[in-house]
Chain A
Amino acid sequence: MRELMRWSARTLVSIVLLGALWPWAVPFYAGFLAGLGNSTLTLWACLPLLSLKDRDILLTVPALHIQVTTVTASFYGVPLLVALVWAVPALSRRMRLSLLGLGAMALFHWLNLLGQVGMLLSNSWLGKLSSEQLFVLSALGDMLLPTLFCISLVLRNRKSFEEARP
Protein backbone atom coordinates (compact mmCIF):
# COMPACT_ATOMS: atom_id res chain seq x y z
CA MET A 1 0.00 0.00 0.00
CA ARG A 2 2.93 2.32 0.77
CA GLU A 3 4.38 1.57 -2.68
CA LEU A 4 1.03 2.41 -4.20
CA MET A 5 0.92 5.75 -2.41
CA ARG A 6 4.42 6.54 -3.59
CA TRP A 7 3.47 5.59 -7.14
CA SER A 8 0.34 7.78 -6.92
CA ALA A 9 2.32 10.78 -5.70
CA ARG A 10 4.97 10.33 -8.41
CA THR A 11 2.35 9.91 -11.14
CA LEU A 12 0.35 12.93 -9.98
CA VAL A 13 3.41 15.17 -10.03
CA SER A 14 4.51 13.78 -13.41
CA ILE A 15 1.06 14.27 -14.96
CA VAL A 16 0.81 17.87 -13.78
CA LEU A 17 4.39 18.67 -14.89
CA LEU A 18 4.19 16.91 -18.25
CA GLY A 19 0.67 18.27 -18.80
CA ALA A 20 2.01 21.78 -18.31
CA LEU A 21 4.98 21.18 -20.64
CA TRP A 22 3.18 19.21 -23.32
CA PRO A 23 1.50 22.22 -25.05
CA TRP A 24 4.99 23.34 -26.17
CA ALA A 25 5.85 19.91 -27.55
CA VAL A 26 2.49 19.23 -29.23
CA PRO A 27 3.22 21.23 -32.43
CA PHE A 28 6.39 19.17 -33.01
CA TYR A 29 4.60 15.89 -32.41
CA ALA A 30 1.59 16.93 -34.53
CA GLY A 31 3.97 18.10 -37.28
CA PHE A 32 5.77 14.76 -37.21
CA LEU A 33 2.44 12.92 -37.49
CA ALA A 34 1.19 15.17 -40.29
CA GLY A 35 4.46 14.58 -42.21
CA LEU A 36 4.20 10.84 -41.68
CA GLY A 37 0.55 10.89 -42.73
CA ASN A 38 1.31 12.89 -45.87
CA SER A 39 4.15 10.51 -46.81
CA THR A 40 1.76 7.58 -46.51
CA LEU A 41 -0.93 9.34 -48.50
CA THR A 42 1.62 10.15 -51.22
CA LEU A 43 2.53 6.46 -51.34
CA TRP A 44 -1.15 5.70 -51.85
CA ALA A 45 -1.17 8.19 -54.73
CA CYS A 46 -3.37 10.62 -52.80
CA LEU A 47 -2.64 14.33 -52.59
CA PRO A 48 -0.95 15.37 -49.34
CA LEU A 49 -3.95 16.36 -47.25
CA LEU A 50 -2.63 17.03 -43.78
CA SER A 51 -1.21 20.28 -42.48
CA LEU A 52 -0.44 21.75 -39.09
CA LYS A 53 -2.63 24.43 -37.52
CA ASP A 54 -1.58 25.48 -34.02
CA ARG A 55 -1.73 22.26 -31.98
CA ASP A 56 -4.11 20.48 -34.33
CA ILE A 57 -3.84 18.74 -37.64
CA LEU A 58 -5.89 20.19 -40.44
CA LEU A 59 -7.37 17.83 -42.97
CA THR A 60 -8.05 19.27 -46.44
CA VAL A 61 -9.78 17.57 -49.35
CA PRO A 62 -9.44 19.97 -52.29
CA ALA A 63 -11.73 17.97 -54.59
CA LEU A 64 -14.60 18.13 -52.11
CA HIS A 65 -13.78 21.64 -50.82
CA ILE A 66 -13.63 20.27 -47.28
CA GLN A 67 -11.35 21.47 -44.51
CA VAL A 68 -11.73 20.02 -41.03
CA THR A 69 -9.67 19.82 -37.88
CA THR A 70 -9.03 16.21 -36.97
CA VAL A 71 -10.01 14.79 -33.58
CA THR A 72 -6.71 14.72 -31.72
CA ALA A 73 -7.58 15.70 -28.13
CA SER A 74 -4.09 17.26 -27.97
CA PHE A 75 -2.54 13.76 -27.99
CA TYR A 76 -2.71 13.71 -24.19
CA GLY A 77 -2.00 9.97 -24.22
CA VAL A 78 1.70 10.70 -24.80
CA PRO A 79 2.45 12.58 -21.54
CA LEU A 80 0.06 10.26 -19.68
CA LEU A 81 1.91 7.17 -20.87
CA VAL A 82 5.31 8.62 -19.96
CA ALA A 83 4.04 9.65 -16.51
CA LEU A 84 2.57 6.21 -15.82
CA VAL A 85 5.66 4.29 -16.96
CA TRP A 86 8.15 6.51 -15.13
CA ALA A 87 6.21 6.25 -11.90
CA VAL A 88 6.09 2.43 -11.73
CA PRO A 89 8.29 1.40 -8.79
CA ALA A 90 11.39 -0.77 -9.13
CA LEU A 91 11.08 -0.92 -12.88
CA SER A 92 14.23 -1.47 -14.86
CA ARG A 93 14.43 -0.55 -18.55
CA ARG A 94 12.20 2.50 -18.09
CA MET A 95 13.61 4.24 -21.14
CA ARG A 96 13.14 1.20 -23.38
CA LEU A 97 9.57 0.71 -22.16
CA SER A 98 8.76 4.39 -22.55
CA LEU A 99 10.05 4.33 -26.13
CA LEU A 100 8.09 1.17 -26.84
CA GLY A 101 4.94 2.76 -25.44
CA LEU A 102 5.51 5.98 -27.34
CA GLY A 103 6.06 4.00 -30.54
CA ALA A 104 2.73 2.23 -29.99
CA MET A 105 1.09 5.57 -29.27
CA ALA A 106 2.51 7.19 -32.44
CA LEU A 107 1.42 4.16 -34.46
CA PHE A 108 -2.10 4.51 -33.08
CA HIS A 109 -2.20 8.25 -33.79
CA TRP A 110 -0.90 7.69 -37.34
CA LEU A 111 -3.50 4.97 -38.04
CA ASN A 112 -6.17 7.16 -36.46
CA LEU A 113 -5.27 10.04 -38.80
CA LEU A 114 -5.36 7.78 -41.84
CA GLY A 115 -8.66 6.37 -40.60
CA GLN A 116 -10.12 9.84 -40.33
CA VAL A 117 -8.93 10.69 -43.86
CA GLY A 118 -10.41 7.41 -45.09
CA MET A 119 -13.72 8.12 -43.36
CA LEU A 120 -13.90 11.58 -44.85
CA LEU A 121 -13.18 10.35 -48.35
CA SER A 122 -15.40 7.28 -48.24
CA ASN A 123 -19.03 7.17 -49.22
CA SER A 124 -19.83 4.29 -46.88
CA TRP A 125 -21.79 4.54 -43.63
CA LEU A 126 -18.51 4.74 -41.72
CA GLY A 127 -17.85 8.07 -43.38
CA LYS A 128 -21.15 9.35 -42.11
CA LEU A 129 -20.25 8.86 -38.48
CA SER A 130 -20.83 12.04 -36.54
CA SER A 131 -17.95 13.68 -34.69
CA GLU A 132 -19.39 12.53 -31.37
CA GLN A 133 -19.24 8.89 -32.39
CA LEU A 134 -15.87 9.38 -34.03
CA PHE A 135 -14.54 10.57 -30.68
CA VAL A 136 -15.51 7.24 -29.12
CA LEU A 137 -13.40 5.43 -31.68
CA SER A 138 -10.43 7.78 -31.85
CA ALA A 139 -9.81 9.53 -28.54
CA LEU A 140 -10.41 6.33 -26.58
CA GLY A 141 -7.01 5.16 -27.77
CA ASP A 142 -5.29 7.91 -25.80
CA MET A 143 -6.90 6.46 -22.69
CA LEU A 144 -6.59 2.80 -23.61
CA LEU A 145 -2.96 2.45 -24.59
CA PRO A 146 -1.44 4.01 -21.45
CA THR A 147 -3.86 2.06 -19.23
CA LEU A 148 -3.10 -1.22 -20.97
CA PHE A 149 0.61 -0.53 -20.74
CA CYS A 150 0.40 0.28 -17.03
CA ILE A 151 -1.72 -2.80 -16.26
CA SER A 152 0.78 -5.01 -18.14
CA LEU A 153 3.68 -3.58 -16.16
CA VAL A 154 1.84 -4.20 -12.90
CA LEU A 155 1.00 -7.79 -13.90
CA ARG A 156 4.56 -8.41 -15.05
CA ASN A 157 6.06 -6.96 -11.87
CA ARG A 158 3.67 -9.00 -9.76
CA LYS A 159 4.52 -12.21 -11.64
CA SER A 160 8.27 -11.71 -11.16
CA PHE A 161 7.59 -10.86 -7.51
CA GLU A 162 5.63 -14.09 -7.06
CA GLU A 163 8.36 -16.11 -8.80
CA ALA A 164 10.97 -14.64 -6.47
CA ARG A 165 8.89 -15.50 -3.38
CA PRO A 166 10.10 -18.67 -1.61
Chain B
Amino acid sequence: MARKKHKHTHKEQPALEQRFDQFVTTTVTRLHNFWQRNGVILRAWTVFAAMIALFTTLLLVLNLYTGFDDWLNRATAAMLAGALWLLGAGGQTVGTIVTSKVFSAEIITECTAIFPIMIFLAAVIAHPSRWKQKLWGIVLGVPAIVFVNLIRLVSLFYIGYWFPSIFETAHLLVWQSLIIFFAVLFWLVWVELFVHRGQVQHA
Protein backbone atom coordinates (compact mmCIF):
# COMPACT_ATOMS: atom_id res chain seq x y z
CA MET B 1 0.00 0.00 0.00
CA ALA B 2 2.77 2.35 1.00
CA ARG B 3 4.60 1.64 -2.26
CA LYS B 4 1.47 2.42 -4.29
CA LYS B 5 0.99 5.70 -2.49
CA HIS B 6 4.65 6.63 -3.01
CA LYS B 7 4.38 5.90 -6.74
CA HIS B 8 1.24 8.02 -7.02
CA THR B 9 2.92 11.10 -5.38
CA HIS B 10 5.93 10.73 -7.67
CA LYS B 11 3.69 10.79 -10.71
CA GLU B 12 1.77 13.85 -9.48
CA GLN B 13 4.81 15.94 -8.58
CA PRO B 14 6.14 16.52 -12.13
CA ALA B 15 2.62 17.34 -13.30
CA LEU B 16 2.29 19.95 -10.56
CA GLU B 17 5.72 21.38 -11.32
CA GLN B 18 4.87 21.48 -14.99
CA ARG B 19 1.63 23.28 -14.28
CA PHE B 20 3.40 25.78 -12.02
CA ASP B 21 6.07 26.43 -14.68
CA GLN B 22 3.34 26.90 -17.26
CA PHE B 23 1.52 29.33 -14.97
CA VAL B 24 4.70 31.36 -14.36
CA THR B 25 5.57 31.44 -18.06
CA THR B 26 2.03 32.48 -19.04
CA THR B 27 1.91 35.19 -16.37
CA VAL B 28 5.31 36.58 -17.37
CA THR B 29 4.32 36.55 -21.05
CA ARG B 30 1.01 38.23 -20.28
CA LEU B 31 2.71 40.91 -18.17
CA HIS B 32 5.30 41.44 -20.90
CA ASN B 33 2.59 41.76 -23.55
CA PHE B 34 0.63 44.15 -21.33
CA TRP B 35 3.74 46.30 -20.87
CA GLN B 36 4.42 46.16 -24.63
CA ARG B 37 0.89 47.36 -25.32
CA ASN B 38 0.55 49.90 -22.49
CA GLY B 39 4.11 50.76 -21.46
CA VAL B 40 3.96 54.27 -22.93
CA ILE B 41 0.70 55.04 -21.15
CA LEU B 42 1.80 53.53 -17.83
CA ARG B 43 5.06 55.50 -17.90
CA ALA B 44 3.15 58.69 -18.75
CA TRP B 45 0.65 58.00 -15.92
CA THR B 46 3.45 57.52 -13.41
CA VAL B 47 5.24 60.74 -14.39
CA PHE B 48 1.92 62.64 -14.53
CA ALA B 49 0.92 61.44 -11.04
CA ALA B 50 4.39 62.20 -9.64
CA MET B 51 4.34 65.70 -11.12
CA ILE B 52 0.86 66.43 -9.73
CA ALA B 53 1.94 65.19 -6.29
CA LEU B 54 5.05 67.37 -6.49
CA PHE B 55 3.16 70.49 -7.63
CA THR B 56 0.42 70.01 -5.02
CA THR B 57 2.96 69.62 -2.22
CA LEU B 58 4.89 72.63 -3.50
CA LEU B 59 1.70 74.69 -3.66
CA LEU B 60 0.66 73.71 -0.12
CA VAL B 61 4.13 74.50 1.24
CA LEU B 62 4.30 77.82 -0.62
CA ASN B 63 0.82 78.78 0.57
CA LEU B 64 1.73 77.90 4.13
CA TYR B 65 5.11 79.65 4.34
CA THR B 66 5.13 82.45 1.76
CA GLY B 67 1.49 83.43 1.29
CA PHE B 68 1.77 82.53 -2.40
CA ASP B 69 -2.00 82.06 -2.72
CA ASP B 70 -2.62 85.63 -1.55
CA TRP B 71 -0.14 86.98 -4.12
CA LEU B 72 -1.74 84.84 -6.83
CA ASN B 73 -5.25 86.01 -5.93
CA ARG B 74 -4.17 89.66 -5.93
CA ALA B 75 -2.40 89.27 -9.29
CA THR B 76 -5.48 87.61 -10.84
CA ALA B 77 -7.73 90.31 -9.37
CA ALA B 78 -5.48 93.04 -10.81
CA MET B 79 -5.51 91.40 -14.27
CA LEU B 80 -9.29 91.02 -14.16
CA ALA B 81 -9.79 94.64 -13.09
CA GLY B 82 -7.49 95.74 -15.93
CA ALA B 83 -9.44 93.70 -18.49
CA LEU B 84 -12.76 95.07 -17.22
CA TRP B 85 -11.37 98.61 -17.35
CA LEU B 86 -10.29 98.02 -20.96
CA LEU B 87 -13.82 96.84 -21.78
CA GLY B 88 -15.25 100.00 -20.26
CA ALA B 89 -16.73 98.35 -17.22
CA GLY B 90 -14.54 100.33 -14.82
CA GLY B 91 -12.81 97.50 -13.00
CA GLN B 92 -11.20 98.27 -9.65
CA THR B 93 -9.54 96.16 -6.98
CA VAL B 94 -9.47 96.34 -3.21
CA GLY B 95 -7.10 93.54 -2.21
CA THR B 96 -8.61 90.43 -3.79
CA ILE B 97 -12.06 91.96 -4.30
CA VAL B 98 -12.86 93.15 -7.82
CA THR B 99 -15.60 95.71 -8.29
CA SER B 100 -17.00 97.00 -11.58
CA LYS B 101 -20.10 98.55 -13.12
CA VAL B 102 -21.39 95.10 -14.05
CA PHE B 103 -20.54 92.73 -11.20
CA SER B 104 -18.35 92.36 -8.11
CA ALA B 105 -16.61 89.31 -6.72
CA GLU B 106 -13.80 88.12 -4.53
CA ILE B 107 -10.98 86.24 -6.21
CA ILE B 108 -9.99 83.04 -4.42
CA THR B 109 -7.45 80.33 -5.36
CA GLU B 110 -10.05 78.37 -7.35
CA CYS B 111 -10.55 81.43 -9.59
CA THR B 112 -6.88 81.54 -10.57
CA ALA B 113 -5.31 79.51 -13.36
CA ILE B 114 -3.02 77.58 -10.99
CA PHE B 115 -4.80 74.19 -11.19
CA PRO B 116 -5.16 74.03 -14.99
CA ILE B 117 -1.52 75.19 -15.25
CA MET B 118 -0.43 72.40 -12.90
CA ILE B 119 -2.30 69.84 -14.99
CA PHE B 120 -0.94 71.24 -18.26
CA LEU B 121 2.66 71.24 -16.96
CA ALA B 122 2.31 67.68 -15.64
CA ALA B 123 0.91 66.53 -19.01
CA VAL B 124 3.69 68.25 -20.97
CA ILE B 125 6.40 66.78 -18.73
CA ALA B 126 4.77 63.31 -18.80
CA HIS B 127 4.54 63.12 -22.59
CA PRO B 128 7.56 61.39 -24.17
CA SER B 129 9.40 64.28 -25.89
CA ARG B 130 12.66 66.24 -25.82
CA TRP B 131 13.29 68.88 -23.13
CA LYS B 132 13.48 71.64 -25.72
CA GLN B 133 10.00 70.68 -26.96
CA LYS B 134 8.72 70.60 -23.38
CA LEU B 135 10.17 74.06 -22.78
CA TRP B 136 8.31 75.43 -25.82
CA GLY B 137 5.12 73.90 -24.49
CA ILE B 138 5.59 75.52 -21.09
CA VAL B 139 6.59 78.94 -22.46
CA LEU B 140 3.59 79.13 -24.81
CA GLY B 141 1.03 77.08 -22.90
CA VAL B 142 1.13 78.78 -19.49
CA PRO B 143 0.36 82.33 -20.76
CA ALA B 144 -2.35 80.86 -23.01
CA ILE B 145 -4.06 79.24 -20.01
CA VAL B 146 -3.76 82.47 -17.99
CA PHE B 147 -5.38 84.33 -20.90
CA VAL B 148 -8.26 81.82 -21.19
CA ASN B 149 -8.79 82.07 -17.42
CA LEU B 150 -9.02 85.85 -17.78
CA ILE B 151 -11.67 85.40 -20.51
CA ARG B 152 -13.48 83.01 -18.14
CA LEU B 153 -13.51 85.55 -15.30
CA VAL B 154 -14.56 88.46 -17.51
CA SER B 155 -17.34 86.38 -19.09
CA LEU B 156 -18.54 85.28 -15.63
CA PHE B 157 -18.78 88.95 -14.59
CA TYR B 158 -21.01 89.65 -17.61
CA ILE B 159 -23.03 86.44 -17.09
CA GLY B 160 -23.55 87.50 -13.47
CA TYR B 161 -24.85 90.85 -14.71
CA TRP B 162 -26.96 89.75 -17.70
CA PHE B 163 -28.06 86.21 -16.72
CA PRO B 164 -27.78 85.88 -12.92
CA SER B 165 -30.00 82.77 -12.94
CA ILE B 166 -27.43 80.70 -14.87
CA PHE B 167 -24.38 82.15 -13.11
CA GLU B 168 -23.91 79.14 -10.79
CA THR B 169 -24.14 76.61 -13.62
CA ALA B 170 -21.79 78.63 -15.81
CA HIS B 171 -19.36 79.14 -12.94
CA LEU B 172 -19.26 75.66 -11.40
CA LEU B 173 -20.03 73.41 -14.34
CA VAL B 174 -19.49 74.93 -17.77
CA TRP B 175 -16.43 77.14 -17.26
CA GLN B 176 -14.78 74.78 -14.77
CA SER B 177 -14.96 72.06 -17.43
CA LEU B 178 -14.01 74.44 -20.24
CA ILE B 179 -10.82 75.56 -18.55
CA ILE B 180 -9.69 71.92 -18.28
CA PHE B 181 -10.76 71.38 -21.87
CA PHE B 182 -8.52 74.28 -22.91
CA ALA B 183 -5.60 72.88 -20.89
CA VAL B 184 -6.04 69.54 -22.70
CA LEU B 185 -6.49 71.32 -26.04
CA PHE B 186 -3.28 73.32 -25.61
CA TRP B 187 -1.49 70.12 -24.70
CA LEU B 188 -2.84 68.41 -27.85
CA VAL B 189 -1.84 71.40 -30.00
CA TRP B 190 1.63 71.26 -28.47
CA VAL B 191 1.85 67.49 -29.17
CA GLU B 192 0.73 68.07 -32.77
CA LEU B 193 2.87 71.12 -33.55
CA PHE B 194 6.03 70.54 -31.54
CA VAL B 195 6.30 66.80 -30.89
CA HIS B 196 4.72 65.10 -33.94
CA ARG B 197 6.05 67.56 -36.51
CA GLY B 198 9.48 67.49 -34.88
CA GLN B 199 9.50 63.69 -35.17
CA VAL B 200 8.38 63.82 -38.82
CA GLN B 201 11.17 66.30 -39.62
CA HIS B 202 13.74 64.11 -37.86
CA ALA B 203 12.51 61.01 -39.73
Residues of A that sit less than 8 Å from B by CB: 1, 4, 7-8, 11-12, 15-16, 19-20, 22-23, 73-74, 76, 79-80, 83-84, 132-133, 135-137, 139-140, 142-144, 146-148, 150-152, 154-156, 159
A79 CB to closest chain B CB (Å) equals: 6
Beyond A132-B108, A136-B56, 7 additional contacts (C-beta under 8 Å) are A22-B173, A74-B173, A76-B173, A80-B180, A151-B44, A151-B126, A152-B41
A81 CB to closest chain B CB (Å) equals: 9
Contact of A76 (CB < 8 Å), options: B38, B123, B177, B183: B177
Contacts A76-B172, A137-B56, A151-B126; A83 near B177 (Cβ below 8 A): yes
The docked-state distance in angstroms from the alpha carbon of A83 to that of B191 is 21
* Residues of B contacting A144 in the complex (Cβ-Cβ under 8 angstroms): 52, 119
Give the interface size bracket for B toward A: 35 or more
Q: List 25 A-B contacts (CB under 8 A).
A: A4-B192, A11-B181, A12-B181, A19-B173, A19-B174, A22-B173, A23-B169, A76-B172, A76-B176, A76-B177, A80-B176, A132-B69, A132-B108, A132-B109, A135-B110, A136-B56, A137-B56, A140-B115, A144-B119, A151-B48, A152-B44, A154-B191, A155-B40, A155-B44, A156-B41
The docked-state distance in angstroms from the alpha carbon of A140 to that of B191 is 23
The docked-state distance in angstroms from the alpha carbon of A20 to that of B175 is 11
Q: Contact: A84 with B110, CB < 8 Å?
A: no
Asked if B185 lies at the interface with its beta carbon under 8 angstroms from chain A, I say yes
The docked-state distance in angstroms from the alpha carbon of A95 to that of B59 is 36
Contacts A132-B69, A154-B191; A80 near B177 (Cβ below 8 A): yes
- Chain B residue with minimal CB distance to A3? B192
The docked-state distance in angstroms from the alpha carbon of A94 to that of B181 is 18
B38 CB to closest chain A CB (Å) equals: 8
* Residues of A contacting B27 in the complex (Cβ-Cβ under 8 angstroms): none
Asked if B116 lies at the interface with its beta carbon under 8 angstroms from chain A, I say yes
- Chain A residue with minimal CB distance to B128? A155
* Residues of A contacting B183 in the complex (Cβ-Cβ under 8 angstroms): 147
Contact of B45 (CB < 8 Å), options: A73, A132, A139, A152: A152
